[in-house]
Amino acid sequence: MEEILEIYKTTTIEDVNVWFEAATVSDFPKNGGACIKYKGKQIAVFNFERKNTWYACQNVCPHKMEMVLSRGMIGDQNGIPKVACPMHKKTFSLENGENLNGDLAPIATYPVKIEDNIVYVGFSE
Amino acid sequence: MKKVVVIGNGMVGYKFCEKFAASEKFGEYKLTVFGEEPRRAYDRVHLSEFYAGKTAEDLSMSSVSWYEENNIDLHTSEMITEINREDKTVANHRGDTYSYDYLVLATGSSAFVPPIPGVEKEGVFVYRTIEDLEAIESYAKKLKAEGKTQAAVLGGGLLGLEAANAVKELGLDAHVVEFAPRLMPRQLDQGGSDMLQAKIESLGLSVHLSKQTDFIQGGHAIEGLQYVDNTELKVDMLVISAGIRPRDEVAKECGLEAGLRGGIIVDHKMKTSDDYIYAIGEVALYNNMIYGLVAPGYDMAEIAMSQITGNSDNTMVEHIDMSTQLKLIGTEVASFGDALSDGDDTDAIVYENKRNGIYKRINVSKDGTKLLGGILIGDSSDYNALFQIYNTAMKLPENPEDLILGNRGGDSGSLLGDVMDLPDDAQICSCESISKGTICGVIQEGTCDNLGDVITCTKAGTGCGGCKPMVKDLVDATLKSLGKEVKDTICEHFEYNRQELFDIVKLKGYRKFDEVIDHHGKGDGCETCKPLIASIMASIYADTANEEAPIQDSNDRFLANIQRNGTYSVVPRIPGGEITPEKLIVLGQVGKKYDLYTKITGGQRVDFFGARLDQLPKIWKDLIDHGFESGHAYGKSLRTVKSCVGSTWCRYGMDESVSFAIELEERYKGLRSPHKLKGGVSGCIRECAEARCKDFGVIAVEGGWNLYVCGNGGANPKHAELLAEQIDNETVIKYLDRFLMFYIRTAAPLQRTAKWLDTLEGGIEYLKEVVINDKLGLAEGLEEEMSKLVNTFQCEWTQAIQDKEIMKRFNHFVNTDEPDDNLVFVPLRNQKMPEHWK
């Protein structure tokens, strides 16, 4: 099971050498998320329309290793943007991946950019 | 770096490593652990669950990588056969030597086998390790193939009863054979033992007390037990679980001081007679006693770790508490303090209820001021409170019998009275050893100001969670004592409770979450306030869950219940549980077509499991094409109205319960509420529909229906209470409309009707005043609101499959049509299930 996690590594904007064209803005719900597939990776992408900001992270929840985070509810905790896993409501910061209500390992996060209504997710390869 | 060698990788040995790895000084030490079993330390307390489907890996105390991650060398299948105290080395069975600065003996114990002639025969086992269990299992299989089923367990103590349960799980007829005249002789008195015996006999086990075995009958293999009183018991297998023997051989050989009947003598620092050797767990003889429970073993691990790392002030308490609370063969059993006291200075107070299988005894000091100990069988829900009273020597109420009988004056307050009366050192969370003083302290010094922070900061309530209600009471009371307002606001984004938000949304006519949070809240919302506001708007405007999908709770957003592996279940509505053979065939065909695990629910309908997100719309289209509609099994809304067959067929029926159940289910289907709602209609007082454990229940009686409200099953079962008697169908509906709407308006988030009634000042009498006599003048409004909801029902799945925008929600990926490739199913009784969680 651990090997599932190994393919997801937090990528900062400086590390990016591939901007993957994922989908159009309208493919994602406003103030919600959806999942994209890139080379065997499942990545959850969230549209915080209220703040005009986008976030991306691994789709797998490190608690029970299910591919579900993109179906989680988003919001904030003291201003930190977060996603709550639909399974057991484990919450993670979308800024640094930290588990906000427990001791789980942090999730990997990825940069997102929008150009001409296209959503790009950044990877380092 | 100092070297610490641990001999033994059982529960206590593992705990020692865990505590060491968490200590600040861990970096200065190197741990090496030797275990003679082939596996990493596992949970021996729950060993019998091995037969209930748990694997050795499930029972394991840590992951494979844990030792590696913490840089601890673990040698399994390696037995230490020699300790050289002069050179400070140990040697294993192969002769390899390892040096140490400190040595920790955590060798535990082995099963005690009494010297009965014949114990070497085939079919005689001990009950201690996973290997023992595997041997028992394969022998049981062999016996059953030969048509033999009788198995005895020697020993009626805690471990013996666990073993008997395991034998029963294997499908054998279990006989418990005990030398003493009662079960669990160290913890229970005769009355407690009698009650426990009756309980476990009712489950099909046999109990034989006061039986001393003379020898084991049979030739090569066991055929029976011959008792000294010349009677016998014919059995095909024997499992010995008659006590433990400390594993002290290697320690004794190197000259460490040992007790007469075994065990390595330790002082209050857990140190043996050698300054560099410690002993912990079941091999340690402390105060001339061996402690066979995990909790004291864990405490010993903590002390030994502190001593080795230089915190010499941390020592073992003088008196080790042996109180226990557990579930044995499905029966709650607890024993605390001096449970068996019969001395002159004690008065025992006993409550025995054979009808319900409950036995309670408390021992009170002669002057009636102190609780000395007690026994609880069949119902140990008061254990926590009683243990606190005993452990902190709290003053008893004027009539100490109230402690087990309840205050019969009608006021059913907590046993403890005010939690703030507990002394500061009272242990509240026994899993994490957190005292009342610590919990109140973090609030008083300003570190925390709410329950969540207190839990994160102190770890109280993070173990079994049993103490959480008490932690909450303490937090609330402390905040109050500091003059801080304890407000039941819903989350950090809104300074309102649910009822206030309901009124705001209704008054202002808000239709979007953003409108509500922009005008009345702050931030971006969260998983608590978003679904709550969605539910309020649905209750006010008869919205379906397709309205503003991203704020709907996950199950509502995808109109299905998410299951363990991220797939979903599908439940079409079958009102009242009535279905034609044709429709039943359709259900079978749908289940087959999509290869879904299929099960009948408790609410008289059919549940399909294992549907992928992308399959949901296809499955629902098939169902809707054949006349089905959403069953709202995923929503905080009406689930089912269960019915018995009633006067239509039943020779006892007083009225048509099925017809009425269908009418009620059709009326309230789709109704969004603070929590799920269930109903039931029974055709007579035999109550086959179990209506009284529902949020609303209707039972036919002479002259009409009796209407009951606010019952539920679940973790805290409660019977619904009588709201009105002998009323006709129209009146039932009128009262139900008012009752449900009143609940929807005023309940807290995720509060079931039973809990809501508990918090309603004046209880059921007040509810009668509001619903029947319209005391608040609300009745007309409530009925009007309900009629609006009833008349605008829409099936949200029909809505979904007709709308292309909504359908987009059900693709696993937005950039490809591929399904989730991460799902793994395994076979189960001709169907399938998700692979087990690791």
| B180-237 tens-digit pLDDT | 999 998 889 999 999 999 999 988 899 999 999 999 999 999 999 999 999 999 999 9
Chain A nearest-CA residue for B518: A50
| Residue A92 φ then ψ, to 5° | -130, 140
Task: Classify B611 as helix, strand or coil.
Answer: strand
Least confident of A10-19, B275-284, B377-386, B721-730: B377-386
Pairing of strands A41-48, A32-38: antiparallel
Task: Classify B3 as helix, strand or coil.
Answer: strand
How many helices (H) and strands (E) chain A has is answered by 1, 12
Model pLDDT for residues B17-42, shown as the tens digit of each residue: 998 998 888 989 999 999 998 889 98
Task: Classify B653 as helix, strand or coil.
Answer: coil
Label residue B413 by pLDDT band (50, 70, 90): very low
Which residue, among A69, A73, A90, A118, would best test binding to B if mutated, counting the most B CBs under 10 Å from its CB?
Answer: A73
Chain A nearest-CA residue for B562: A87
What's residue B265's pLDDT?
A: 96
Label residue B683 by pLDDT band (50, 70, 90): very high
Average pLDDT value for chain B: 89
Task: Classify B156 as helix, strand or coil.
Answer: coil
Smallest Cα–Cα separation from B165: which of B344, B2, B331?
A: B331
Spatial separation of the C-alpha atoms in residues A95 and A108, rounded to whole Å: 10
- Residue matched to tokens 């009105």: B724
Spatial separation of the C-alpha atoms in residues A102 and A91, rounded to whole Å: 8
| Residue A47 φ then ψ, to 5° | -105, 100
pLDDT of B465 strictly over 70: no
**In chain A, which residues have their Cβ closer than 8 Å to the Cβ of B558?**
71
Smallest Cα–Cα separation from B620: which of B807, B761, B832, B419?
A: B807
For the residues B145-155, what does the mean pLDDT come to? Answer: 94
Task: Classify B569 as helix, strand or coil.
Answer: strand
To the nearest whole Å, the CA of A75 is away from the closest chain B CA by 4
Residues of A with CB under 8 A from a CB of B: 1-2, 4, 22-23, 27-32, 34-37, 42, 45, 48, 50-51, 60, 64-68, 71-79, 81-82, 84, 86-87, 89, 91, 101
Answer positive or negative: Cα dihedral of B310, B262, B180, B166.
Answer: positive
Label residue B411 by pLDDT band (50, 70, 90): very low
Return the structure tokens found at B368. 């009636």
Spatial separation of the C-alpha atoms in residues B286 and B259, rounded to whole Å: 10
Spatial separation of the C-alpha atoms in residues B263 and B41, rounded to whole Å: 21
To the nearest whole Å, the CA of A35 is away from the closest chain B CA by 5
CA distances from B434 to B15, B320, B440, B588 (A): 18, 17, 11, 54
To the nearest whole Å, the CA of B449 is away from the closest chain A CA by 15
Return the structure tokens found at B39. 């596996």
Label residue B412 by pLDDT band (50, 70, 90): very low
CA distances from B173 to A112, B232, B235, B417 (A): 64, 16, 9, 46
**Least CB–CB distance from B514: residue in A29, A50, A84:** A50
**In chain A, which residues have their Cβ closer than 8 Å to the Cβ of B516?**
none
- Enclosing H/E stretch for B131: helix B130-145
Spatial separation of the C-alpha atoms in residues B31 and B326, rounded to whole Å: 34
CA distances from B489 to B209, B452, B479, B494, B521 (A): 58, 14, 15, 7, 11
**Least CB–CB distance from B550: residue in A32, A51, A84:** A32
Spatial separation of the C-alpha atoms in residues B619 and B611, rounded to whole Å: 8
Which residue, among B432, B535, B554, B807, would best test binding to A if mutated, counting the most A CBs under 10 Å from its CB?
Answer: B554
To the nearest whole Å, the CA of B811 is away from the closest chain A CA by 9
Return the structure tokens found at B193. 């033992």
| Contact predicate B604/B642, CB 8 Å | yes
Contact B838 A65 (CB under 8 A): yes
In this structure, chain B runs to a length of 838
- Enclosing H/E stretch for B226: strand B224-227
Pairing of strands B244-246, B109-111: antiparallel
**In chain A, which residues have their Cβ closer than 8 Å to the Cβ of B563?**
none
Spatial separation of the C-alpha atoms in residues B156 and B163, rounded to whole Å: 9
Which residue, among B813, B820, B824, would best test binding to A if mutated, counting the most A CBs under 10 Å from its CB?
Answer: B813
Answer positive or negative: Cα dihedral of B423, B424, B429, B433.
Answer: negative
**In chain B, which residues have their Cβ closer than 8 Å to the Cβ of A31?**
524, 550-551
What's residue B485's pLDDT?
A: 65
Contact B550 A73 (CB under 8 A): yes
pLDDT of B15 strictly over 70: yes
CA B555-B601-B642 angle, to 5 degrees, is 100
Residue B199 CB contacts under 8 Å (≥ 6 apart), including other chains: B329, B330, B331, B357, B377, B378
- What count of Cα atoms within 13 Å lies in the side-chain half-sphere of residue B646? 24
CB pairs under 8 A between A and B: 102
Model pLDDT for residues B242-300, shown as the tens digit of each residue: 888 999 999 999 999 999 889 999 999 999 999 999 999 999 999 999 998 888 898 99
**Complex prediction ipTM:** 0.91
Spatial separation of the C-alpha atoms in residues A41 and A35, rounded to whole Å: 10
DSSP annotation string for B436-473: HHHHHHHHHTTS--SHHHHHHHH-TTSSS-TTHHHHHH
To the nearest whole Å, the CA of A17 is away from the closest chain B CA by 21
pLDDT of B408 strictly over 60: no
What's residue B609's pLDDT?
A: 96
Residue B378 CB contacts under 8 Å (≥ 6 apart), including other chains: B195, B199, B331, B332, B353, B356, B357, B358, B359
Label residue B760 by pLDDT band (50, 70, 90): confident
Spatial separation of the C-alpha atoms in residues B424 and B388, rounded to whole Å: 12
| Contact predicate B220/B120, CB 8 Å | no
Output helix, strand, coil percentages for chain B, rounded to the nearest 5: 35, 20, 45
Question: What's the longest Cα–Cα distance across chain B?
Answer: 93
| Contact predicate B796/B552, CB 8 Å | no
| Contact predicate B160/B178, CB 8 Å | yes
**Least CB–CB distance from B566: residue in A50, A67, A77:** A67
For the residues B348-367, what does the mean pLDDT come to? Answer: 90
pLDDT of B486 strictly over 70: no
For the residues B638-660, what does the mean pLDDT come to? Answer: 94
Which residue, among A39, A55, A63, A71, would best test binding to B if mutated, counting the most B CBs under 10 Å from its CB?
Answer: A71
pLDDT of B146 strictly over 50: yes
Residue B263 is which amino acid? G
Return the structure tokens found at B402. 């109230």
**Least CB–CB distance from B816: residue in A37, A66, A79:** A37
Residue B117 CB contacts under 8 Å (≥ 6 apart), including other chains: B214, B215, B216
Q: Within an 8 Å CB–CB cutoff, is residue B457 touching chain A?
A: no
